[in-house]
Amino acid sequence: PEMLHDVQVEATFPDGTKLVTVHDPIV
């Protein structure tokens, strides 16, 4: 699937939870 290039990582920060989208992740 082409969606593999767009990885959404849910990261938790001290000020709250943010959704981070990584394009072309390094594997």
Q: Identify the helix (H) or strand (E) that includes residue 12.
A: strand 6-13
By residue range, what is the domain housing residue 10? 1-27
Whether the predicted pLDDT of 15 surpasses 70: yes
Q: How many domains in the chain?
A: 1
Could you give the CA distance from residue 18 to residue 14 in angstroms, rounded to a whole number?
10
Could you give the CA distance from residue 8 to residue 4 in angstroms, rounded to a whole number?
10
The pLDDT score that the predictor gives to residue 17 is: 65
Whether the predicted pLDDT of 23 surpasses 70: no
Task: State pTM to two decimals.
Answer: 0.19
